[in-house]
Structure 1
Amino acid sequence: MQTARLARPSALFAAASLLLAGCGDAGTSATTAAVSLDNCGRTVRVEAPPERAVSLNQGTTEIMLSLGLADRMAGTATWTDPVMKGLEKANAKVARIADNNPSFERVLDAEPDFVAASFVSTLGKGGVATRDQFEKLGVPTYVSPSDCAGKDNSGDGDGARTDPLTAETVYGEVRDLAAVFGVKERGEELVAELKARMAKATAGIDASDVTLLYWFANSESPYMAGCCGAPGVMTRALGAKNVFDDTHDEWPQINWETVADRDPDVLVIGDLTRRSQTAESAEKKIAFLESDPVTRNMTAVRHQRYVLLSGQAMNPTIRTIEGVERVAAGLREFGLVK
């Protein structure tokens, strides 16, 4: 068994080299030209459009599926929610190699020629494997810029933002992946669609008097959004205020007494289907809020002002636009916008 493990990397390298060479010979110059990207502090060079890509997080998976790349994907992993609406058929064509982080060996079994992840930690120490481990085998890697641009991931938590995330960074990821796969036109179409949805959701809305709180997971030591990640994109787009905009940590764990003291007007709640934390689903979160003596008298709880979002909408992904739409719709429904 150990011998087989040691032999695998060299076999993968040979297969990947042959695949890249074959792709380069078969295609047209418009789709097979090498692509070089500056990505999270390193240069990524892809010699030809990938044919066996593996996406290690749902965020990168949904971008690839939205770009019509299901037939060029060898596997996906790490899911918090059902796939984005409209992508069900495409997603069904792609093997799910793990619901959470797969082992390095399991990814290699898929014989990838390109590996993408939404988070630095996924392709870092303690994650699936480091970027160097893949790249030593000739497999290019890509990490979502939204998890490294203006962000410090050196601590033990989910990192801290030195600069607020913007939707443009998310659009940049779409364009990067479209370039890698030789489908730039599709990338521009998807970006234009996302921008139009953002403009429609925020048209004529003024939530400057509204305070929000974003709860991702865990009822014992809850993860609440700081100022500047994906929830920050939503908050700024609507002109509202996050009650924890005084912290730059991505998802600080904050006690309920402090939460109750901030007393937000609206609670934006993660409705997750995974089972790695307590109170993952919105149903369990709301049951906790309405029964706990510390939280049940909060303004948002008393008025049942809840906006439910997928975990992906609360992460920096193309579904962050979905988050803007849903929060805007909720604020209108609650009569809180001008």
Structure 2
Amino acid sequence: MTDGKKSEKTTVKRCGEPVEYTVPKRTVAYEGGSADKLFSLGLTDHVHGYVMPPANPPVKESPWASEYAKVKKLSDDLLNKEVVVDAKADFVVAGWNSGFSDQRGITPEILDKLKIQSFMHTESCYNYPKHPEKKKPFEALYTDLERLGKIFKVEEKARKVVDDLKRREKAVEAKAPKGSPVPVFLYDSGTDQPFTAGGQVPPDDIIGKAGGKNIFSSLGQRWTQVNWESVTKAEPEVVVILDYGDKPAKKKIEFLKKSPQTRELPAVKKNNFFILDYNEGISGPRNIDGLERFGKYLRELTR
């Protein structure tokens, strides 16, 4: 006998497109942000496994390490159609161009044809073909949790999780240093040209709500390449280092201190470096952990 409520279809937006969903039973999550969202909603029993590229920090460092241990690690490569089909997945959670990709042949449209449901991080929807949707990063996080709550029919749990995250966010914002926001440069990677955070990714909200100003906030993009001249011109007082991959934060700091293009930056001369964990920087509940830590850092810096 089937549970009638669980088999009912629910219409929820996937970016700007209304899509009908039935409650998934074999979810594949791509990267920590997707898995964290599901685990935070108490949905471990609905998760079959996760795909985690090697640049990501170990899952044992996650607040949901015990939940990761209950599901399968399906691959340490980028998301692809084969791993999803082999897993007999009925639902895939990832971002547009960070998981789903035309080039790699795994898109929501392709999965629809295979009768595999999919969901995209709202934060990544701003340039999704045909059905774009643009929201600020934290608003996008809360939207995802609410939408996943509807898909899995755990709306009340989602409301509680979102309310708690919003309460924590507002507490940091209320304590943010007064006066002109501190100019902040996020350094992801790159030596010839730096890779950084535009206005469409969580660090933009982390920096802004803590009392800083992302020097590339006006760029309507997610993770993007800029030039060192524009960094120098902005005179950042703080550098946020995104920590992931095979180049530790310490090595990135060493590069910034030695490079003639960056060693005279106010932040570098004052040794004002803040290390942001990868999973605090991509869309997921840990964004608020990053906000709380960076808020504390800025408050202590400006005393």
Fold agreement, TM-score > 0.5 = yes
Rounded to whole Å, the distance in 1 between the matches of 2:66 and 2:30 is 19
Q: Select the structure of larger CA radius of gyration.
A: 1
Name the structure 2 match of 1:8. none
User: What RMSD over aligned residues (CA atoms) do the two structures have, in Å?
Assistant: 2.3
Rounded to whole Å, the distance in 1 between the matches of 2:235 and 2:133 is 26
The AA in structure 2 aligned to 1:70 is: T
The counterpart of 2:226, out of the listed 229, 254, 261, is 254
Identity of aligned residues (%): 28
Name the structure 1 match of 2:47. 73
Does the CA-based 8 Å contact 2:177-2:211 persist in structure 1? yes
The alignment partner of 2:99 has SS state of helix
Q: Does 1:60 align with 2:34?
A: yes
> Superposition pairs for residues 25-64 of structure 1, below 5 Å?
25-27=1-3, 29=5, 31-47=6-22, 49-64=23-38
Displacement, 1:290? 1.5
Rounded to whole Å, the distance in 2 between the matches of 1:208 and 1:94 is 47
Spell out structure 1 runs of 4+ moving beyond 3 A.
82-85, 161-164
Name the structure 1 match of 2:217. 245
Displacement, 1:213? 1.0
Rounded to whole Å, the distance in 2 between the matches of 1:140 and 1:162 is 19
* Pair 1:265–1:162, CA change in 2 (3 A): farther
Rounded to whole Å, the distance in 2 between the matches of 1:192 and 1:71 is 23
Displacement, 1:162? 9.3
Could you list the runs of 5+ residues in structure 1 that have no partner in the other structure? 1-24, 155-160
* Pair 1:244–1:306, CA change in 2 (3 A): same
Rounded to whole Å, the distance in 1 between the matches of 2:158 and 2:203 is 24
The AA in structure 2 aligned to 1:75 is: G
Displacement, 1:128? 5.4
Name the structure 2 match of 1:158. none
Calculate the TM-score normalised by the size of structure 2: 0.89
Rounded to whole Å, the distance in 2 between the matches of 1:251 and 1:74 is 29
Displacement, 1:269? 1.0
Q: Does 1:93 align with 2:67?
A: no
Name the structure 2 match of 1:16. none
Name the structure 1 match of 2:152. 181
Calculate the TM-score normalised by the size of structure 1: 0.80
> Superposition pairs for residues 259-278 of structure 1, below 5 Å?
259-272=231-244, 274-275=245-246
Displacement, 1:284? 1.5
Could you list the runs of 5+ residues in structure 2 that have no partner in the other structure? none
Name the structure 2 match of 1:170. 141
Does the CA-based 8 Å contact 2:165-2:288 persist in structure 1? yes
- Deviation per residue, 1:270-301 (Å, 9 max, x gap): 011x34xxxx4211211111122221221111
Rounded to whole Å, the distance in 1 between the matches of 2:196 and 2:134 is 18
Rounded to whole Å, the distance in 2 between the matches of 1:44 and 1:222 is 38
- Deviation per residue, 1:184-221 (Å, 9 max, x gap): 22211211221121122222223542111111223332
